[in-house]
């Protein structure tokens, strides 16, 4: 695994997978605020909230419709995240899931 804390910002790889690296580091090694601040990808943010800890500072990066649906279903159904479910298919999945509740 690449340690992004030791890579200079000029390298292209610094920007490519930084979010995923930070999520993996927090999940596998240790959850640290100085590392999870690099989690900015919506999917990585959802996985962090689901598998590590549901934090508002991470939750704000959940902006994708599918990730918002997954968050509402598997973490917590929050109105501020629910409004991000915008694609018709994901809205239909959400409605079907709510009917079963």
Residue 99: CB atoms within 10 Å: 7
Residue 93: CB atoms within 10 Å: 17
C-alpha 70, offset from chain centre: 10
**Do 49 and 71 touch, CB atoms closer than 8 A?**
yes
User: Quick one: average pLDDT of 59-80?
Assistant: 97
Average pLDDT, the chain: 88
**Residue holding tokens 């999870």?**
36
Q: 21 is written with which tokens?
A: 């690296």
Q: 13 is written with which tokens?
A: 């790889």
> Sorting pLDDT into bands at 50, 70 and 90, what band is 21?
confident
In this predicted structure, which of 8-22, 45-59, 73-87 has the lowest mean pLDDT?
Answer: 8-22
**Residue 35 pLDDT > 60, yes or no?**
yes
Q: What pTM, to 2 d.p., does this model score?
A: 0.83
**Could you tell me which residue, 15 or 49, shows the higher pLDDT?**
49
Predicted pLDDT of residue 17: 78
């Amino acid at each position: 695994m690449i340690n992004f804390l030791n890579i200079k910002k000029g390298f292209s790889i610094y920007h490519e997978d930084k979010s995923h690296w930070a999520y993996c580091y927090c999940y596998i090694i240790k959850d640290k605020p100085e590392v999870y601040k690099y989690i900015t990808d919506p999917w990585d943010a959802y996985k962090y909230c689901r598998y590590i800890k549901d934090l508002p500072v991470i939750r704000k990066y959940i902006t994708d419709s599918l990730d918002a649906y997954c968050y509402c279903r598997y973490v917590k159904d929050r109105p501020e995240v629910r409004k991000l479910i915008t694609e018709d298919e994901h809205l239909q999945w959400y409605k079907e899931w709510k009917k079963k509740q």
